[in-house]
Structure 1
Amino acid sequence: MIDFHVIPDLLYVIPAEKHSAQDIRNILSAHPEVKFVSLAAVDLMGNDTDEKIPLYDFMDNIENFLDGKAVQTDGSSVVLPGIATLNDGKVDLIPDSKVIWYIDYNYEHLDFETGKPIGTLRIPSFLKHNNDYVCSRSILRKSTEYFEKTVQERFLNDPALCADYGFTPEELDHITTITATELEFWVNSPDEIISTEQLSISQELKESYWKRTKGVVRTALEQVILLLDNYGFNPEMGHKEVGGVKASLNSSGQFHFIMEQLEVDWKYSDALQGADYELIARILIKEIFRLHGLDVSFNAKPLPGVAGSGEHTHVNAVAFLKSGKKINLFAPEDTKADFLSRFGWGCLMGIMKHYSNVINPFVSATTDAFERLTPGFEAPTHSVASIGKDVLTPSRNRSVLLGLVRSEDTKYATRFELRAPNPHTNTYLCLASVYQAMLDGIAYAIDSGKDTKALEAEFIKPYGQPSDYLETDRLYRCEDDIFEDMDSNERDRLFGTPAATVFESLSTLKDPSVAEILCRGGVFNEQLINSYYQAMLVRWEMELMEKIIPANLSLIRSVVRSDDGSVSYDEKLWSDIEDLKLLLAKDTDIQDSIFTRVKAAVKSGDWEKTSEYQRAMKNAMIELKNKYKTYCDNQI
């Protein structure tokens, strides 16, 4: 560990308006501690590229770098299956001049001349293959451009729509998509084990949520907030989350056995910048806590049986007038009379109609993501929204997929909070799919000619009532606790049965109607959708074969008998446990184990069977753990 502290006078960012060759030369010449340049593009799996290009090479060829003619890689360096292939793998990295560039410092490597940490200028970039943009960042850029252009054209051609907000078409300057993030994560002291039971008890007793941070966790969290501010994030807060246990204090006054869940939030920005911020924040958080000897996990469900980590994503859209005035397009004319504007209702209806098929494949695309989305841990399982019990009572329902955040006192607060994303969700693709769904809903809401009350009535319709846009046998709004007030069968009936495996989530991308929505405006195309589908399917296959089955097998082997066979209750329990162990992991003359069936299905490429056997494996493992806990609790 080093004695890390935040250095206020470092160069942290180069703003978009300073990206000319001369400005960059002037800025970097004044900061000799910046020694390297890296073009940071994001492939379809969400991985960001990183290189160490000596600054002198960048400065000598700066025009070529800025024009995208200086750096290229091949298909083996990025995840673009079916695009960057073995015989056609050249991929160019194109700097994005319209977003903030930032400097990534190595606090363990000091510049001899200045005494400051060595910095790398990280330039958010695009991936280009055969003159086509093929990366996550470019998809979000195309999506926001299409959304903003389409919405602006609607306003320019519809004076009545403009009148809803009190301006004329001539007064409109531009439309901007807005996003903000709540990022949750776990921190722990390495090599120190804390039992799931301890964590579960602490969670039930609410010993951590919004409690005071202490010691090294407090220091690291405060430094993260200060650093994010230096990078222009405008952080709002950092705090403890629901998971964690109280650390132990040793005789020297140091905390040990640290295991805490934290959250960091920052203010809104435009969509592409906001997605970049999320990527930068994860890098900074992990690095600062590491410098204090703590490990950080951004996994959706790093520990079974306790709270997982979400990345709640807030979205809305804003109209900028030529006068400089900003107007929240989701907000109604009278916040005490309506939940949303016509435009806002269209966006909400588009998201909720298309979430499961259009958006979810980009939100929940790993087994880890599905492990988080289970009842009992304040994570959404079903596609349903909360808008508030009435127009004067804001939504506070933490059991739903989407919450309408609003205040009757200010229109600027109105936005949607999407609660399913996790820290490893590809935010670029998630937002792109959200905007495509929103546009579909906007078209319906505005073209239908319905007013806000008619759209509200359609959205909150009872189950079984026909709708011009939404499904008949679906409930889209619920203010109840869907976990406490109904069982799983009722949830599936009212809100639709959610995907339970990666394959079930991804399979909707093969639906032509889904692809048609995603491809509108040239945002996605068939090649990009197929490449993403293949990339996440291969990842799922590798997770099953190399992580999930080996981890389950290791756990099964740790399940050992400890009674002497004298108690019939123990005997019955152990017999059930043995049957489950055999079912999961032991082949017999009569049948193959579930593990073997999963492996065979993967080998044959039968993804439906793989998905079915994964469900069976998960259920059997849950039953095994529960029975073994009951068995162990009965030993004295």
Structure 2
Amino acid sequence: MLRHLNEDIYSSLLYCIPKNQHDEESIKNALLSHPEVEFVSLAGVDLGGQETDEKIPVELFLEDISEFLKAGIQTDGSSVYLPEIASLNDAKVMILPDKDINWYVDYNFDNVNTANYKPVGTLRIPAFLKHGSEQVGSRDILKRAIENFKTEVVEIIKENPHVLEEVGIASFDDIEDVIITSATEMEFWVNTPTDTVDEEQLSISQSLKEQYWKRTRGEVRTALERTIWFMGKYGFEPEMGHKEVGGVRRRIGLGREGHFMEQLEIDWKYSEAMQAADNDIFVRDLIEDIFNFCGLEVTFDAKPNEGVAGSGKHTHLGIAAKLKSGKFVNLFSPKDMKSEYMTSIGYGALMGILRNYEVINPFVSSTNDALNRLKPGFEAPVCIVTSLGRSKEEPSRNRSILIGLIKDFNNPLATRFELRAPNPHSNTHLVISACLQGMIDGIRAVFDQKATLAELEAELSKKYGDEGFYLEKFRQYRSEEDVYELSQEERNRLFGTPPRTVWDNIVSCKGGGEKRKTLYHNGVFTEKTVISFRYTAIQRWVNELLGRIIPNNMDIVRECKKVHTEGDISDLDVVMWNKINTMRWYLMKGSMDTDSLFARIKRNLEEKNFDQASELQVEMSEKITELKELYYAYKKNQF
């Protein structure tokens, strides 16, 4: 049905119940007038980023709507993953509806009601997770982070009226609210089902720029256009859909286009922080549903193909004051956009993220897949460094940095920070929460120092070894150059050594010292939620290594077979094969006296020797890459 879109039917569907219509009468009217919506589901988000989904018949929901909206539903904890919180002997978790956010209807395009020819819909109600007396879900943490940030920023502005002059607000009494905005850019890969492609061909295609922003065709074009159309119906205000850098040329067969593998990106308008994080999950599911319905496979993995660009989810952060007149004023934009880079609040917020990024990073990149993307050479950030622009009149578009200042001189409301490290599976609720905690730490430090804008620019621009009142002495935080042109040793010296494995990253969060206190400030993150998140990340790291990564690498080793024969052999064949075979044995073949590398990793994981397992994982990754390169070269030397 979706392939031949009946706009009359799809335009008549219920897509959203906005937050200003969450009284009982409005909800009943909306659902009773749209019988295609047959289910209701409370969508809480656990600390691993997984969203709950339970099918409650609409009739049952409407029977006791008052109690449902007030108390939500109870689960025994099996439907959410909250380790170290919801235990077997204390598993009660309440899922509580959030009435202050838009509710969207999730349609099943594979299940069409024959009575009205409309797809069956489920009203998804974003929800909080409560265990005992504590709110423990990802959305709960973000709610606390937003409330804390607003309260502190309002107090700081009240105590420092010169901020009003910087942004052009006449009086503190003119401010009605502080609004935190965010937006994400969703990148993903799409391909024909069951097809595989040579990694070398992907790499060549990327270097030749054969895919970047090119015209989409066939089923991919249809699915992309359908997705953008539906996003408009939901009110997400899509801004652009296009090809990204990754992909290979299509093959033609039997009079039509056959195999393809392409990377795409879809962008939509910013929203307030909580809504933006919820929208991120809903749009990701919508993309997958529509592309699947069009017969295409989609992956949101950060690094689905080695040797080519991974998929990012650049996350934008902005702060505005809403005035009682209804006007919005960007708190990052100086009154004269060309005389200053940004305001005191902007400098503090940016420096706060940079200084505290070691404890923010685990919430941004918590999986093997995420860290596989963050490697030099693929436009993915590896250094804790920012860019402001080569001059105040020239906005920055330095793609080699972690987080950048985005400005549009013709639109002061557009000034924001772009964090480039998140990937499509990053938990946006926790990413924003951790960033807000870092931002308020920096803002407080700036105003405690009573620094001028010139002093703040000098602080952010300080060189390695220079003293700073807030930023660390032996670190550099700003670069207008391509940081990848520096050697790895120099990057590590200037900007800090990036984590190589999930364990490296989690150790930063586990230690963290004073920086970790930034997360806990005013109870936004709690010891209990951080421990639960850390446990989730470690267990996923261990299970992926044991259940996927090592078995996949074993398959790679087995596929590296001798192909030369005695009749067609050169001395180079012999040398290369001996290297390959020695490496195969080292990786996988144990003896009575020596364990293979794979076996040593398994043993250390099982014995919880995570420091050693992490070091061995790095070695395994390097050896597998070297093995594949050697084997490619060896095969190319055969007739």
Whole-angstrom CA distance in 2 between matches of 1:391 and 1:246: 42
CA contact (8 A) 2:384 2:496 kept: yes
2:251 matched residue in structure 1: 248
1:145 matched residue in structure 2: 147
Whole-angstrom CA distance in 1 between matches of 2:487 and 2:168: 46
Which of 24, 27, 32 pairs up with 1:24?
Answer: 27
Mapping of residues 459-474 of structure 1, within 5 Å: 459-474=460-475
2:318 matched residue in structure 1: 316
Mapping of residues 481-630 of structure 1, within 5 Å: 481-483=482-484, 485-511=485-511, 512-564=513-565, 566-630=569-633
Whole-angstrom CA distance in 2 between matches of 1:193 and 1:498: 32
Aligned to 2:243, the other structure's residue is in SS state: strand
CA contact (8 A) 2:167 2:330 kept: no
Aligned to 1:407, the other structure's residue is in SS state: coil
1:384 matched residue in structure 2: 385
- How far off is 1:166 after superposition? 2.5
The answer to which of 381-390 and 566-575 deviates more is: 566-575
Which of 270, 284, 293 pairs up with 1:291?
Answer: 293
CA contact (8 A) 1:473 1:494 kept: yes
Mapping of residues 327-476 of structure 1, within 5 Å: 327-355=329-357, 357-476=358-477
- How far off is 1:252 after superposition? 4.2
- How far off is 1:284 after superposition? 0.3
Whole-angstrom CA distance in 2 between matches of 1:416 and 1:159: 24
Aligned to 2:369, the other structure's residue is in SS state: helix
Which of 54, 59, 70 pairs up with 1:56?
Answer: 59
Aligned to 1:180, the other structure's residue is in SS state: strand
TM-score by length of 2: 0.97
CA contact (8 A) 2:375 2:382 kept: yes
Aligned to 1:185, the other structure's residue is in SS state: strand
The answer to which of 204-213 and 60-69 deviates more is: 60-69
1:632 matched residue in structure 2: 635
1:513-571 C-alpha deviation (Å, 9 max, x unpaired)? 23311111211110011011001100100000000000000110000111236422221
Distance of aligned partners of 1:418 and 1:454 in 2 relative to their CA distance in 1, 3 Å threshold: same
1:96 and 2:98 matched? yes
CA contact (8 A) 2:580 2:631 kept: yes
1:232-275 C-alpha deviation (Å, 9 max, x unpaired)? 1111100000001222233443x221211000001111111000
CA contact (8 A) 2:348 2:445 kept: yes
- How far off is 1:358 after superposition? 1.7
- How far off is 1:149 after superposition? 1.2
- How far off is 1:473 after superposition? 1.5
Whole-angstrom CA distance in 2 between matches of 1:465 and 1:148: 33
Mapping of residues 258-269 of structure 1, within 5 Å: 258-269=260-271
Whole-angstrom CA distance in 2 between matches of 1:632 and 1:490: 36
- How far off is 1:25 after superposition? 0.7
- How far off is 1:346 after superposition? 0.4
1:276 and 2:278 matched? yes
1:329-354 C-alpha deviation (Å, 9 max, x unpaired)? 11112111111111100011001111
Which of 186, 193, 198 pairs up with 1:195?
Answer: 198
- Give the unaligned 5+ runs of structure 2: none
- How far off is 1:193 after superposition? 2.2
Whole-angstrom CA distance in 2 between matches of 1:409 and 1:55: 48
Aligned to 2:319, the other structure's residue is in SS state: strand
The count of residues paired between Structure 1 and Structure 2 equals 632
CA contact (8 A) 1:198 1:245 kept: yes
CA contact (8 A) 1:2 1:108 kept: no
- How far off is 1:581 after superposition? 1.1
Alignment-mate amino acid for residue 502 of structure 1: V
1:35 and 2:38 matched? yes
Which of 179, 182, 188 pairs up with 1:179?
Answer: 182
CA contact (8 A) 2:108 2:120 kept: yes
- How far off is 1:190 after superposition? 0.5
CA contact (8 A) 1:313 1:418 kept: yes
Alignment-mate amino acid for residue 310 of structure 2: G
CA contact (8 A) 2:156 2:447 kept: no
2:74 matched residue in structure 1: 72
Whole-angstrom CA distance in 1 between matches of 2:326 and 2:52: 37
- How far off is 1:410 after superposition? 2.5
The answer to which of 116-125 and 573-582 deviates more is: 573-582
Aligned to 2:177, the other structure's residue is in SS state: strand
CA contact (8 A) 1:508 1:514 kept: no
Whole-angstrom CA distance in 1 between matches of 2:227 and 2:178: 32
CA contact (8 A) 2:130 2:137 kept: yes
Whole-angstrom CA distance in 2 between matches of 1:302 and 1:200: 13
Alignment-mate amino acid for residue 503 of structure 1: W
2:158 matched residue in structure 1: 156
Distance of aligned partners of 1:3 and 1:480 in 2 relative to their CA distance in 1, 3 Å threshold: same
- How far off is 1:89 after superposition? 0.4
Whole-angstrom CA distance in 2 between matches of 1:205 and 1:252: 27
Aligned to 2:413, the other structure's residue is in SS state: strand
The answer to which of 444-453 and 308-317 deviates more is: 444-453
Which of 326, 331, 336 pairs up with 2:328?
Answer: 326
Whole-angstrom CA distance in 2 between matches of 1:433 and 1:232: 28
CA contact (8 A) 2:164 2:172 kept: yes
Aligned to 1:107, the other structure's residue is in SS state: strand
Whole-angstrom CA distance in 2 between matches of 1:398 and 1:631: 36
CA contact (8 A) 2:44 2:52 kept: yes
1:121-140 C-alpha deviation (Å, 9 max, x unpaired)? 11011111113111001101
Whole-angstrom CA distance in 2 between matches of 1:295 and 1:524: 37
- Give the unaligned 5+ runs of structure 1: none
Mapping of residues 108-123 of structure 1, within 5 Å: 108-123=110-125
Alignment-mate amino acid for residue 618 of structure 1: S
Whole-angstrom CA distance in 1 between matches of 2:172 and 2:275: 27
1:301 matched residue in structure 2: 303
- How far off is 1:101 after superposition? 0.3
1:84 and 2:86 matched? yes
1:13 matched residue in structure 2: 16
Alignment-mate amino acid for residue 504 of structure 2: E
- How far off is 1:634 after superposition? 1.6
The answer to which of 73-82 and 292-301 deviates more is: 73-82
CA contact (8 A) 1:194 1:257 kept: no
Whole-angstrom CA distance in 2 between matches of 1:4 and 1:37: 28
The answer to which of 525-534 and 333-342 deviates more is: 333-342
- How far off is 1:2 after superposition? 5.8
Alignment-mate amino acid for residue 295 of structure 1: E
Mapping of residues 205-216 of structure 1, within 5 Å: 205-216=208-219
Alignment-mate amino acid for residue 177 of structure 1: I
Identity value in percent? 46
